Chains A and B, each alone.
Chain A
Amino acid sequence: MADVTHTPNAPPRHLPAGTPPILELVNIAKYFPGVIANEHVSLNVFPGEIHALLGENGAGKSTLMNVVTGLYQPDAGEIIIDGYGTTFPAPDAAIAAGIGMVHQHFRLVPRFTVAENLHLGWSETPRRLSAKDIEARAKELSARFGLPVRPSAIVSSLSAGEQQRVEILRVLSRGARLLILDEPTAVLSPVEVGELFSALRRFRSEGGAVIIISHKLDEIMALADRVSVLRQGRLVGTHQVADVTPDSLVTEMIGRPVALATSYPRQGPVPAVEEAEPLSLQQVTVRDSAGVVRLDNISLSLRPGEILGIAGVTGNGQPELAEVLTGLKEPESGTVFLNGKAVNRADPAMFAHAGVGHVPEDRLKRALMPGLSVAENMALREYDRPPIGGKFSFSMPQARKFAQMLADRAGVKLPGTQVQIRGLSGGNQQRLVLEREIRIASHVLVASYPSRGLDIGAISAMRDMLARARDAGVAVVLMSEDLDEIFALSDRIAVLYAGRLMGVMTRAEADRDSIGALMSGRSLSEAA
């Protein structure tokens, strides 16, 4: 394949020709039992460059970065820093070479202050110093790198964006010249994303290099100078961002062109309206443990064979709504009707048996047992019925067969059903959870942010699965921060703001402006 834009060794255009790279990877390979994580990966990164790394879930991005940061040893290939071949026997060697990583899941001590976190495990931290001293030092660091933080704040009280700034500051204060960020925007609000990007651009203008792993193509197009694409552990191309389009990147990433559909027409007739409501809420109010109202007097009913999209900015009551709909939380006041019968206590098992599936927001924390095998994880919803189990029995061979069947249907390649599920990539874990939940969701499926962390191919497959569930007569609730997704799939759209339902409208009535107004808390009459 003659790809004219594949120019792996040229520096970004804004840098003078002949600039030496800060990092060169030559034919890196890394194998795990039964899996080729990386093979023949050659890549270089120049000072003053933001380099995006793109690839599907499980394409080997995280493994490659673990090799660069010394967490893994490559099984073949060379790492060259400033022109000298090196090996990183351990992460501290990579840090000493000026490579710093900001992980997707922060590695901060939640109970410590910002200043304490910055000084933890740092050779330059003076042996004796007072809280005042380290706060002063933290303030100085914050000013030097242009990342505003409050040194005396306890980390657990900070927003995700602020915690990320602390992480970046910690890495930069160790003298990092190459900053690696793993999906840094996944947890950020749009404003925080803007702040992060301007901080990264400033770092670049001072001669720093950045590798950013992201699924969000528009962010890559806006921020990066060059982009490298990994597929099945191999590098398929490195391009100047100016030479590519989002579409060409997607094609390269998954080996075939994929465009997300903007609508999912029904395969059969719409079910009659008089069919019983599988689940409805009547004037439901929920408070959290601190007594703050999270859901405020919500009335809502689901209809079979329909997708109800819940739009809203994150943190406006979405998790609580999902918990009430799946029986995980009992409302403080108001009633939940399951198949027409009032339920007045939290009983997730009863909801599950009544055919309510649930893909929660945080799958690893909520829906999976990371330390148990794939087989045991896949059995979680059907362990109490044949063929896997009965009133007293449990059959591991049947659970393994069942797990293999789910994996085959989800298109997930397993190294075996007895491996711990934490060993699978995040995207594969999500596909398996979705497959498991759709199986039991005979009446209702509540999906919270199902596309979070998935690549575009997997998102497309996920949406097809939701549409198929709808066609089979399931009432689907789709919570998403992505309005395109809501508009593509929903039959009705509800907007959640500060725990209140701002309105429910059909897809035909809804338009972006009115939904956007409702999401920011204005009523339709105000917006008009």
Chain B
Amino acid sequence: MSAVSHRTRLTVVPSYRIAIGRGLSILAALSIVAITLAAMGRSPIELAGLVVRSTVGSRFGIEDLALFMTPLMLTGAAVWVGIRVNLWNIGAEGQLYAGATAATAIGLFTHWPAFVALPAMIVAGMLAGAAWIFVPAAARAWLSVSEIVTSLLLNFVASLLVYYLATGPWADRVTGALASTERLHMAFPEFWGAVHLGFILALATVIGLGVGLAKSRFGYETAVCGSNPQAAHYAGIGVAPRILAVLLLSGALAGLAGVFEVAGTVHRLQGGLANNYGYLGIVVALLARGSCLALIPAALLMALILDTGIVLQTTQISSSAVLAITGLLVLAIAAGDELAAYVRVNRT
């Protein structure tokens, strides 16, 4: 018989195939990194050893990973709830700043006890994040203005606003730190080294979000709106209010990331505080695909890459390496996911 292909594409890909595909993708990406390092005259094995020792190999490294994961899980969730219904919130960076700013206001200017101040920070930060996306969200919902552009552009506004506050009215006059406010009066309690309560709360938020959307009428209605707005109208589901609600939720999640970052990890509002977490949230959300719980391992992977970048920097390798490795990994995983859908057909 002539050479006919014996492969077919699955419409539903079982998760174990995805897992295998991803494992191989990560291996392929790491091999390319290793080859590149070797071509630069560095020993990949030595560097790998160094990276492993200083990330998962030490108490300090693991604490660091948890601190990186905290904002990444939440910005990842922020982008993920949007993608789920075909909305792209590219402004998590700006909403993170907005949330951080609101938390800072409480942390600098009130002297409430922690059990009042910390919940207040969470509420204020989430509201601020939602407020930061309100105009793009409403414009998208009722005027069909692309949320991609509007939410992205507000990032720069938020970033400059934080620089202004941190160098101007809220600048630290005590220690004279550059582009930074004073240390906040209260912080999320640390429970394991530098790892603070924010990590647990972020974890709980992601789990709660996944369960909540899967089991709620809101989750179903928004899925319908995202998949086919005309069918939603036909079924009597108002599309515009639900687009608004999803985007506000997205903004609130990113705002929460800002709260934990400023009041748990950094303790001061600084220029550059967001550290690209908003943009990296897009990568985390894409890696997680359709599953909310998959945001957790995706955030862990991203945290590992960030940590690796820092370690590589200490050995005089450009900090842009992080971006290159991230890109490589996303590419490999996208290819791996696609290839995992193809199966050999067994004929008898």
Contact = CB atoms under 8 A, between A and B. Distances in A.
Interface residues of B, number: 32
Contact of B230 (A73, A89, A366, A383): A366
Contacts of A327: 236
A376 B234 CA distance: 15
B175 interface: no
17 contacts: A87-B3, A87-B5, A89-B5, A347-B236, A348-B233, A348-B235, A358-B234, A366-B230, A369-B227, A369-B231, A371-B227, A376-B223, A383-B217, A384-B217, A392-B216, A394-B220, A419-B11
Contact of B227 (A87, A370, A395): A370
Contact of A391 (B2, B8, B217, B237): B217
A423 interface: yes
A78 B2 CA distance: 7
List of 10 A-B pairs having minimum Cβ-Cβ separation, nearest first: A349-B236, A369-B227, A73-B5, A348-B236, A394-B220, A369-B228, A371-B227, A394-B217, A372-B227, A380-B235
Interface in B1-59: 1-8, 10-12
Nearest to B345: A75
Contacts of B234: 328, 348, 358, 360, 366-367
B347 A379 contact: no
Contact of A33 (B7, B11, B233, B235): B11
Contacts of A29: 347
A367 B234 CA distance: 7
Contact of B214 (A33, A77, A365, A396): A396
B240 to A, nearest CB: 14
B219 interface: yes
Interface string A351-382: 11000001010000111111110001001110
Given A349-B236, A369-B223, 20 more contacts: A29-B347, A33-B11, A76-B4, A348-B235, A349-B235, A351-B236, A367-B231, A367-B234, A368-B228, A368-B231, A369-B224, A369-B227, A371-B228, A372-B223, A379-B220, A383-B220, A394-B215, A394-B219, A395-B215, A423-B11
B231 A75 contact: no
B239 to A, nearest CB: 12
Interface in A372-423: 372, 376, 379-381, 383-384, 389-396, 416, 418-420, 423
A493 B11 CA distance: 45
B149 to A, nearest CB: 22
Given A75-B347, A349-B236, A352-B236, A365 B230 contact: yes
Contacts of B345: 31, 75
B60 interface: no
Contact of B12 (A395, A396, A419): A419
B156 interface: no
A79 to B, nearest CB: 9
A20 to B, nearest CB: 19
B112 interface: no
B218 interface: yes
Interface in A241-261: none
A365 B229 CA distance: 9
B295 to A, nearest CB: 20
Interface residues of A, number: 51
A352 B234 CA distance: 9
A11 to B, nearest CB: 25
Best-surrounded residue of B2, B220, B347 (most CB of chain A within 10 A):
B220
A93 B230 CA distance: 38
B269 to A, nearest CB: 37
Nearest to B10: A33
Contacts of B215: 393-396
A420 B227 CA distance: 11
Nearest to A327: B236
Interface in A78-109: 78, 85-87, 89
B11 to A, nearest CB: 5
Contacts of B7: 73
Nearest to B11: A423
A510 interface: no
A376 B220 contact: yes
Nearest to B218: A392
A350 interface: yes
Contact of B231 (A32, A380, A423): A380
A17 B221 CA distance: 63
A277 B182 CA distance: 73
Nearest to A29: B347
Nearest to A363: B231
A331 interface: no
Best-surrounded residue of B7, B10, B12, B214 (most CB of chain A within 10 A):
B12
Contacts of A77: 4
Contacts of A381: 235
B217 A392 contact: yes
Contacts of A418: 12
A380 B8 CA distance: 31
Given A74-B4, A87-B4, A389 B217 contact: yes
A319 to B, nearest CB: 13
